[in-house]
Amino acid sequence: MPAEYTTMQDHTEGVRTGVAIVGLGGAVATTAVAGVEQLKLGTIGTAGLPLAHRTDLMPYDSMVFGGWDLDSSNLAKAAHLHRVLEPVQIEAVAEPLQRIEPWPAVVDPAYCRNATGENVVAAGPLRERIAHIRADLQRFRREHELDSVVVVNLASTEAWPDLTAPVLADIDAFEEGLDRDEPMITPGMIYTYAAVIEGCPFVNFTPSLGPDVPALLSLAEREGVPVAGKDGKTGQTMIKTVLAPAFRSRALTVDGWYSTNILGNRDGQILDNPSSLASKLDTKGSVLDSILGYGVEDHIVRIDYYRPRGDAKEAWDNIDLVGFMGQRMQLKVDFLCRDSILAAPLVLELVRLVAEARRRGEGGAQEQLGYFFKKPLTRDGRLPEHALHAQERALLDWLDGDR
Amino acid sequence: MPAEYTTMQDHTEGVRTGVAIVGLGGAVATTAVAGVEQLKLGTIGTAGLPLAHRTDLMPYDSMVFGGWDLDSSNLAKAAHLHRVLEPVQIEAVAEPLQRIEPWPAVVDPAYCRNATGENVVAAGPLRERIAHIRADLQRFRREHELDSVVVVNLASTEAWPDLTAPVLADIDAFEEGLDRDEPMITPGMIYTYAAVIEGCPFVNFTPSLGPDVPALLSLAEREGVPVAGKDGKTGQTMIKTVLAPAFRSRALTVDGWYSTNILGNRDGQILDNPSSLASKLDTKGSVLDSILGYGVEDHIVRIDYYRPRGDAKEAWDNIDLVGFMGQRMQLKVDFLCRDSILAAPLVLELVRLVAEARRRGEGGAQEQLGYFFKKPLTRDGRLPEHALHAQERALLDWLDGDR
Amino acid sequence: MPAEYTTMQDHTEGVRTGVAIVGLGGAVATTAVAGVEQLKLGTIGTAGLPLAHRTDLMPYDSMVFGGWDLDSSNLAKAAHLHRVLEPVQIEAVAEPLQRIEPWPAVVDPAYCRNATGENVVAAGPLRERIAHIRADLQRFRREHELDSVVVVNLASTEAWPDLTAPVLADIDAFEEGLDRDEPMITPGMIYTYAAVIEGCPFVNFTPSLGPDVPALLSLAEREGVPVAGKDGKTGQTMIKTVLAPAFRSRALTVDGWYSTNILGNRDGQILDNPSSLASKLDTKGSVLDSILGYGVEDHIVRIDYYRPRGDAKEAWDNIDLVGFMGQRMQLKVDFLCRDSILAAPLVLELVRLVAEARRRGEGGAQEQLGYFFKKPLTRDGRLPEHALHAQERALLDWLDGDR
Amino acid sequence: MPAEYTTMQDHTEGVRTGVAIVGLGGAVATTAVAGVEQLKLGTIGTAGLPLAHRTDLMPYDSMVFGGWDLDSSNLAKAAHLHRVLEPVQIEAVAEPLQRIEPWPAVVDPAYCRNATGENVVAAGPLRERIAHIRADLQRFRREHELDSVVVVNLASTEAWPDLTAPVLADIDAFEEGLDRDEPMITPGMIYTYAAVIEGCPFVNFTPSLGPDVPALLSLAEREGVPVAGKDGKTGQTMIKTVLAPAFRSRALTVDGWYSTNILGNRDGQILDNPSSLASKLDTKGSVLDSILGYGVEDHIVRIDYYRPRGDAKEAWDNIDLVGFMGQRMQLKVDFLCRDSILAAPLVLELVRLVAEARRRGEGGAQEQLGYFFKKPLTRDGRLPEHALHAQERALLDWLDGDR
C-alpha cells in the first residue's frame, strides 16, 4: 500500500500558495478542496496523487483556495450537490468548506449556453472584465497573505471560436481585439490574460481555449509565466494512451477503435450541446494516430449524457486488432470510473508543478506536464508526446533536473 | 499501416540459420513456419512482428526449420489440425510445410502426463537421450549447411520437480545427476543441456524448467551460449504488464485483480492437469506485485479448458481500484485473442535476437529479452523488470548498443 | 443437439412456393437462399430455424427464389461480396446461386439516398411502376410454375414521409395519390400495393413503411391477403425483449438502459444517413417502456457504422437497475452477433407462416407473427406484445389452432 | 415507476405471522428484516418485491421476526457488519432491529467447517437438538401471540452427505436414524424435521439438504405442511434461466457456457470450502441442459471468493452460440449485482406464499414456487421447469386458482 501522508508538514514553513479556480463550485474543484482538508486532518491517504512522495514540491496543505463560480453557494453545500463524495466525507470537513464562497464569475453565453447562474459579473467591455478578475486576484493575495497565486480553469467546456481568426494569432492583435471588444475572445482567454498579467501561473484543465492560443502563449513566454494545458487526461483517454503504445510496441495493427462514454454529471449535460461537444471530441481524437504513427480510419468517440450514472462515468472501448498473418483479435475495456475522483488529485499536482516551474523561473508552455493532458501544450511547434509512460519519463526527468 | 516486408532480402547473403523447435508440430510452431513461408512469398505483411523494421537483425527468410514432436505428421497436416490458420492460408505454403517432418522426441510421462504420441525416442539413460538430441542437431546443421542453429522450446508445459533439489543447484551436481539418471531432471533440462553443449542458443518459450535452473544457467555462462526465457508473454499477462504500470503511475491502488482465461487448444488441455497448471500459474502470479511495489492480496488467476474457443483464447480481467479519498473504481478487460497468432511472431524475433547475442559473443541469461517473457531470466540474482514499456526500452537500448 | 433436417422431403409433393424478395442481392437474402440450397444438400443442420420441427408448415426446399435488386449480379457473386458466409460455403451451392439474377428494381432516391445501382426501372409514373412489379410477379409465377408467391421486403431502410399525410390514411385517398404521383408514396408502399393486388402475402422485414400504413393495411384486409411486419427482431432488441420481462417479473426497476450498436455492413452504411436512421431508431425505442409498463427516461439507443466489424454486428448494453431498498445494480450485455445469420432463418420461417395464413384464408395484419418483429403489426389498434416468450406463446397457440 | 406500498395496511387486521430464520444474523436475513421495518415506515418503495401488488397475500408488515444464529449480536449490529445497507438506512430502523437477538443455533462442524460462533446449542443427541428447536418455535409463537410461524433456512451452505444413504430414503428409516444419532443427518434436516412436526411451513433458500430428502418430503406430505426449496435463484442462474429459453426459442445452439462468479461476503468464504462448493455447484449445473433439451458439454461454473467485492457479487458469463449455417456468435453478460438485495425480497415473498399454501391446506412440496429456486422441489418425481417465464406463469396461475 502507498505510504501515508505524514512527512510533508515540515515543508510548509509559512509559505502559502493561493489556488484561484475558475469553476470553484464544480465537482472537481470541491473534491480537490475537500481532499486537501482531509489530508490536513490525516483522514485519507495519498491514493490518486501521483507525486505524493515528492517532498521537493510544495505541500498540499499550504494551498489556500478561492475562485469564481456562477453559483455562489459555499463549497460544503456545492459538494453535497455533486454527490461525488459521501455525505459523511463532506461533513468531516464542513467547517473549512463552508467558509469558502465563490466570487462572481465572468461568463459569455455565446460560448457556453447551458452554463447559467446568478453569481455573475455584469456583462461589460472586455477590458473591464479583465480588471475585475485582476482585482479579485489582488484581493485574494492580500487578504490571505499569499506568497503566490496559481489560477486553474475547471469551468464548463466552452465552444470554440474560429481558431484562424487574426485576433488570436499574436499578442498585439489580441490587445487590439480587447480594445474593440472582439467577439472571438472567449471567457477562457480573458481569465488566462488576466492571470498572466498578474504573474499567476495558469492551468487549463478543460478543453476550452486559453493559453493554447498563439497570442496568449507568446504573452506567457514574454512575461515568464508558466502555463499548462489542456483538458485533463483522466479516464478513457488515459487508458487509450496506455494501451495504444503497447499495440504499437507489439506491432498489432489497430484496425478500428470504438469508444463510448456515458456520464451523468454537469459536465455530461454541457456536452449535450453540440458546440461544446465538438471542443471535447477534438482533444480526444488526435491522440491515437499520433501514438500509432498511422491513421486509424475507424476511430469513433461517442459521449452521451446518461443521468443514472451521475459522476460515476462509464467508458466502454472496443478495439479491433490485426496480428500476425492478418488474423483478427478484439480487446474490450469497460472502465467504471469516477470523473472527479480521477481529476481532483491531478489538479492538485498541477498546482504544485506550475508553482515549481515559477520558482525555477521557467515561463511559457510547460511541455513536461503533458502527462496530465489530452492535448498537451508544446513549445516551438513540436508535436506532443501522448504515450503515458513517455510523458511520465519526461516529467520525472524534469523534476530531477535532467531536462 | 506498418511498412511491408520488402527490404530484407539483401541481408540474407547466404547466411542460413537453423531453428530446431521442441514441439515442432504444435500450434505456435506451425504458425511460425507458415508465417515465414508467407513472408518469403510476400503474401503477408509484418503485423505482429515487433522488430520487422530492424534490418540489422537476421532476415526472417534465412531461417530453416526442423525439430522434434510426439506426432510425426508433416507440418502442413499439423497446421490444418490446429485450425489456427484458415485452410487457404496453409494451402498457399503447403509444399514447403509438407517437406518438414518432426524428429522423434524425448519425453517423460512423469512430467507431462497428457502429452503422448507415437514419435518418441525409446526411454533410456539420460546420457543416451542427450546424445540423441545432439546427434539430431549435428545432422540438421550438416544436411542443411547451416551456419548456426537456435533451439526453441515450444513443447507442452511440464510439471515442476522440487526446485530446491541439490542436483539442480550447480553444474557438477547436475552432471552427476545425469550419470545416475536422477528423476529430478526433466525433458526441458535435457534439451537445454544438449543445446548448450552443442553451442546452440536456447529459447524457452514455455513455463517448463530449462535454462532457469542454476545448474544450466551457469553452464550456459561457462560455454558462452545465450539462453532466454521463460514463458512467452502474449495475452493477458502482456496486458497486465501494460495496465499495472499505469495504475502505479497514477497512484491508483489495486485492491484486487481477478483474471480468468478460457482456452480450447492443446495448451489448455494440458493445463487441466493440476501439476502443469501449477507451473503456468507460478509464472503469471508474481508479475503484479513486482510492478506495483506492494502485495495485492486478492490477485486471482484462473485458467480453464473450454473447448468451443479453440485456439482463440479469451481472457477476462476485473480490476478493483481505489483512488483519491478512498473512492472505488473498476476496470474490466476482455481480450478475445489468438494464442498462436500472438506467440509465433515473438518466437521469430527471439530467434533473431539470440542469434544476434551469439554474434556479439554474449552468453548466459539474456536479461534484455525480458520484453518477451512472463518470468524473465536475469543475471546476478536481480529481480526482473515486468513493465512492458521499460522492457521495450531495455531491449531497444541493447539493440542500439547503449547497454 | 437439435435434430437434423431429414424428414421434410416427403411434404413437398410438387407444391412450389415462389419467394420474391425486394433486395435479393443483399446479405440477408443471399444467406437465406444459400441456406435453403444447403438444406437441400443436407450439408447444414437446422440451427437458427425456430420452426424446423413443424412439419405442418411448407418445407424449406419447396421455395423458389427470385426478386429485385439495384445490382444485377447473380447471387453467388453477391454472396461472396457480403462476406457473411465463408467462400467454401458459397462454392458448395454456387451452381443454383449463379442461376438467380435479380430483376430491375423500383427505387426512389428521395427515400434512400445511399442506395444506388445500375439495375433499376426507369423512373416513371407510380402506376407504371406498380404495373412493372405486377408483371414481374406474374412472369415469376408462370415461368416457374409456382402454386403461390410470397413477397418479402429486405431492401435498405427508407426514410419516412409524413405519417399523418391524408394520402396514407385510407385506400381511396391512396388510390388517388397513385393517380397524381403523390411524393408521399414510397417504394416500400409500391411493392406492398402491387403484391397485395396480385394476392401475394407480404412480409416487411425492414423498418421502412409498407403494410403498416392504414391505407395498405385496410387494402390487405379487404383483399384477404396476409401481411406481416415490421423490422426483424434479431440482435439487441431481441435480447432486450428477453431481459426486460425478467426485470419486470422480479420487480427490478430499470433506471436507465444504454444501447450501442456497431456494424459495418451495407445496412450500417445506410444508417449513417440521418433520415434512414430515424426510421430504425423509432422501431427500437418503444419496446422497453411497453414491456415494463412505465417510461424509462434514460433509454438511449445508438447505431454507428464501424467498418472493421463487417456483417458481424456488436451490440453493447448497459442497464441500470434499482432493487430492494433502493439499492443499485448494473447489468451489461455484449452480443457479438451476425446480423444476416440471425435474420435469414427468420425470413424463411416467415415465408412458411404467411403461406400457412394464406392457406387458412386469414388476410390482413398477422398479429401472431409479432415474435419476429421489433414493431409488430396489430389489428384493431391493439398495442403490440413485445416480450419474446409471450410472442412465442401466441405464435405456437396460433399454429396449434388455439387462437 | 412501480406503485408505492400503501394499500396493504388494511389487510393486517391483527393476523401476526412469525418468521423464524435459520441464520438470522446473516446478510440476507438482516436485509429482509430491515426492509420490512422500512416498509412499515413507508421510507422505501416496493422495488425488488415481485408480488407487492398481490393484496390477496399477507401483508409484509404482519411479519414478526426471530431465529437462530451462531452470533448472538442483535440485528442492528449484524446489519452494520455486512455492509449491505448504508449506515443511514440501518439507523432509520435501528430501534426495532436492536430488539431482535438470535437464539442459540444447532450446528455440526462436520457439515459446515467455516461456520463457527459462540451462540450454539451444546452438541447432544439429535433428538435433544430437535426438542431444542421445537421449544424455540413454541416459545416464539407464545411470546409474540403469533397466529402461525414459517421457518426459513438462510444459513451457510452445508456439505452434502451421501444422498443414497438408506436413512434418508424414507421417514421410518429417518426416525430410526434420529434414534441412533446417524451421522448422515445434517443440521438442515434437523431444522426441517422440527419445523414440520411443529406444523410450520419450511422454506429452504440454501443449497443445503432439507425438505428435498425423500424422508422429509414424505413427512411434510403426511403432516400436510408446505415445504419449498431449494437454493434461491437470484443472480447469474436467474439470468441464465431467462436467456437460455430465448436461445432455445430462436434455435440458437449453445455450444458452450462459461460462468464465473466473484463474491466477497461470508457466503463466498464458505464456498472456498470444497465440499460446500460442491453443494452449490450441483444446484447451478443442471439448469441449462434441462431448459435447452440437450446436453451442453462445455458448461463451466466457477465461484471464487474475492474480498474487494463484498456483498456486491459480480457474475460474468460467456456464451458460445451456433446459428444458421453453423456460423458462430458470442454473448457476454456481466452482472454487477447485490446478492442480499436480490435475495431478501424473494424470501419475504416466499414467506407470504407458503403461508397462503398453509391457509389453502396444501402440504408437501410446493412445486408452483419453482420461480424462486435454482433446484425446485417437485412432486411425483417430475422434472422441474427452469425457464423463468414458465415458472412465473405457473406461480400466477396458482395464485389465481387456475391450478
What average pLDDT is seen over chain D? Answer: 90
Kindly tell me the burial class for residue D303, based on how many C-beta atoms sit within 10 Å of its own C-beta (0-12, 13-18, 19 or more): buried
Fill in the DSSP letter of residue A15: -
Per residue in C350-403, pLDDT (tens digit) is 999 999 999 999 999 999 999 999 999 998 889 999 999 999 999 999 999 854
B171 and B196 Cβ atoms separated by less than 8 Å? no
Given the C-alpha cell 416487411, which residue does it identify? C204
Structure pTM? 0.92
Q: What is the pLDDT of residue C14?
A: 67
Domains of chain C: 9-232+341-399 (3.40.50.720), 236-336 (3.30.360.10)
- Strands B314-322 and B253-263 come out as antiparallel
Alpha-carbon distance A318 to A298, whole Å? 11
D319: closest chain B residue by CA: B308
* C263-272: average pLDDT: 70
CB contact under 8 A, C309 and A320: yes
Lowest-pLDDT range of A21-25, A124-128, A358-362, D277-281: D277-281
> Chain C residues within 8 A (CB-CB) of chain A?
255-256, 258, 260, 262, 297-298, 300, 302, 304, 306-309, 314, 316, 318, 320, 332, 334
Min Cα–Cα distance to chain B from C332, Å: 12
Helix (H) or strand (E) segment spanning residue B365: strand B364-365
B41 and B89 Cβ atoms separated by less than 8 Å? no
Q: What is the pLDDT of residue D117?
A: 75
The closest of B101, B79, B91 to B38, measured between CA atoms, is B91
Helix (H) or strand (E) segment spanning residue C172: helix C171-179
- Strands C328-336 and C314-322 come out as antiparallel
Per residue in B205-223, pLDDT (tens digit) is 999 999 999 999 999 999 9
Kindly tell me the burial class for residue C379, based on how many C-beta atoms sit within 10 Å of its own C-beta (0-12, 13-18, 19 or more): exposed
CB contact under 8 A, B335 and A335: no
Q: What is the pLDDT of residue A224?
A: 96
Alpha-carbon distance A248 to A245, whole Å? 5
The closest of B258, B168, B153 to B208, measured between CA atoms, is B153
* D234-263: average pLDDT: 95
Q: What is the pLDDT of residue B394?
A: 96
Per residue in D19-48, pLDDT (tens digit) is 999 999 999 999 999 999 999 999 999 999
CB atoms under 10 Å from CB of A355, counted, come to: 23
Per residue in A38-84, pLDDT (tens digit) is 999 999 999 999 999 999 999 999 999 999 999 999 999 999 999 99
Is pLDDT of C42 > 60?
A: yes
pLDDT confidence of A401, banded at 50, 70, 90?
A: confident
**What residues in D contact C392, CB-CB < 8 Å?**
249
Is pLDDT of C11 > 90?
A: no
B207 and B279 Cβ atoms separated by less than 8 Å? yes
Q: What is the pLDDT of residue C163?
A: 84
The cell numbers describing B247, all together, are 495504475
Q: What is the pLDDT of residue D85?
A: 93
Is pLDDT of D335 > 90?
A: yes
Helices B27-41 and B75-82, packing angle to 10 deg: 110
> Is the ipTM here above 0.90?
yes
**What's at A218, amino acid-wise?**
S
Fill in the DSSP letter of residue A122: P
User: DSSP letters of D231-263?
Assistant: SB--SHHHHHHHHHHHHHHTT-EEEEEEEEEEE
The closest of D112, D198, D220, D204 to D157, measured between CA atoms, is D112
Is pLDDT of A12 > 60?
A: no
Judged by DSSP in three states, D56 sits in coil
Q: What is the pLDDT of residue C195?
A: 97
Judged by DSSP in three states, D91 sits in helix
pLDDT confidence of C219, banded at 50, 70, 90?
A: very high
High-pLDDT (> 70) share of chain C, %: 90
pLDDT confidence of D381, banded at 50, 70, 90?
A: confident
pLDDT confidence of C272, banded at 50, 70, 90?
A: low
Chains in contact with chain B (at least 3 beta-carbon pairs closer than 8 A)? A, C, D
Q: What is the pLDDT of residue D279?
A: 63
Q: What is the pLDDT of residue A4?
A: 42
Task: Catalogue the E-assigned strands of B264-310.
Answer: 299-305
Per residue in C104-139, pLDDT (tens digit) is 998 877 776 665 678 888 778 999 999 999 999 999
Is pLDDT of C37 > 70?
A: yes
Min Cα–Cα distance to chain C from D34, Å: 9
Q: What is the pLDDT of residue A108?
A: 77
C vs D: CB pairs below 8 A? 177
**Cross-chain CB nearest to C314 (options A308, A314, A318):** A318
Q: What is the pLDDT of residue C309?
A: 84
Which residues share a beta bridge with C203? C152, C228
Judged by DSSP in three states, D6 sits in coil
Helix (H) or strand (E) segment spanning residue A303: strand A299-305
In sequence order, which residues have a C-beta less than 8 Å from that of residue C247 and are 6 or more positions away?
Answer: C253, C254, C292, C319, C321
> Chain D residues within 8 A (CB-CB) of chain B?
255-256, 258, 260, 262, 297-298, 300, 302, 304, 306-309, 314, 316, 318, 320, 332, 334
**Cross-chain CB nearest to C242 (options D34, D243, D327):** D243
C56 and C11 Cβ atoms separated by less than 8 Å? no
**Cross-chain CB nearest to D320 (options B297, B308, B334):** B308
Alpha-carbon distance C77 to B271, whole Å? 45
* D253-264: average pLDDT: 92
Q: What is the pLDDT of residue A123?
A: 77
D218 and D240 Cβ atoms separated by less than 8 Å? no
pLDDT confidence of D11, banded at 50, 70, 90?
A: very low
Alpha carbon separation from C136 to A18, C125, C149, C151 (Å, rounded): 82, 17, 11, 11
pLDDT confidence of D263, banded at 50, 70, 90?
A: confident
In sequence order, which residues have a C-beta less than 8 Å from that of residue A249 and are 6 or more positions away?
Answer: B50, B388, B389, B392
C336 and D323 Cβ atoms separated by less than 8 Å? no
Fill in the DSSP letter of residue A43: -
**Cross-chain CB nearest to D85 (options C325, C345, C392):** C325
Judged by DSSP in three states, D200 sits in coil
**Mapped to the 3 state alphabet, what secondary structure does A78-113 carry?**
HHHHHCCCCHHHHHCCHHHHHCCCCECECCCCCCCC
Min Cα–Cα distance to chain A from B345, Å: 7
Q: What is the pLDDT of residue D160?
A: 83
Alpha-carbon distance D154 to D229, whole Å? 11
| Low-confidence residues of chain B: pLDDT under 50 | 1-12, 403
CB contact under 8 A, C250 and D48: yes
Q: What is the pLDDT of residue D402?
A: 54
